[in-house]
Amino acid sequence: MRRQDREVSDLTAICRILDHCNVMRLAFSDPDPYIIPVNFGYSLVKNVLHLYFHSAGEGRKIDLLRKSGLVAFEMDHIVSIRSNPVPCRWSSLYESVCGLGTAAEMHGSTEKEFGLDCIMNRLGSIDGLSYGEALDKVLVWDIEVKEIVGKSNIPDKDRF
């Protein structure tokens, strides 16, 4: 990373960044590049970060996932834009996370519910939530993160 003063490598700090991000962008290469935004959730399993997302049962994303499972991902949170009289000195206060991982389809209602609960937990409360018939139709994916790095341009005084 060019700006090592902005690097975030601590997994707990990376998870705090994830809590503020709204969308995960998944990128594939086969051999043409393809990127798509998805809702996501996460968990730490034996100090390994896992990212979860759901999908329909067909489409280009599913074809690529089933072919290799290799994905790149990116999430970001823009807090504000800082203007400056000099155009090239504008900046933004932001946090971001980028990485690589391997996605695998989750099977069985218990696994799928866990992944969906992680997603819903990030979006709001899951008290009393029942997935009903949707659980049979939806695909749920688990990305085991292999590489991850965060970046932050938010001074401590501006941190939430």
Task: Kindly report, residue by residue over 92-105, the tens digit of the pLDDT.
Answer: 788 999 999 999 99
Q: Strands, DSSP E only, in 46-90?
A: 48-55, 70-82
Q: What is the pLDDT of residue 50?
A: 97
Q: Is residue 74 part of a domain?
A: yes
83 lies in some domain: yes
**Stretch 118-136: mean pLDDT:** 83
Structure tokens at 65: 């996932």
pLDDT at 157 over 60: no
Residue at 72 is within a domain? yes
How many structural domains comprise the chain?
1
pLDDT band at 160 (very low <50, low <70, confident <90, very high): low
CATH number at residue 25: 2.30.110.10
8 A C-beta contact, residue 64 and residue 28: yes
The proportion of the chain whose per-residue pLDDT surpasses 70, expressed as a percent, equals 92
Burial 29-47 (b: 16+ CB within 10 A, else e): eeeeeeeeebebbbbeeee
Higher pLDDT: 12 or 159? It is 12
Residue 54 domain-assigned (yes or no)? yes
Tokens of 142: 């688990």
Domain assignment of residue 62, yes or no:
yes
- pLDDT, one tens digit per residue, over 33-60 is 999 999 999 999 888 999 999 998 889 9
pLDDT category at 89 given cuts 50, 70, 90 is confident
Is 159 part of any domain?
no
Tokens of 152: 């932050």
What is the rounded distance in angstroms from the CA atom of residue 90 to the CA atom of residue 120?
A: 36
Q: Is residue 160 in a domain?
A: no
> Which pLDDT belongs to residue 158?
53
What Cα–Cα distance (Å) separates residue 102 from each residue in 52, 65, 108, 143?
Answer: 11, 9, 19, 5
Question: Which residues constitute the domain of residue 116?
Answer: 4-154
In the numeric block, the tokens 């049979």 are attached to 136
Q: Is residue 85 part of a domain?
A: yes
Least confident of 19-23, 50-54, 127-131: 127-131
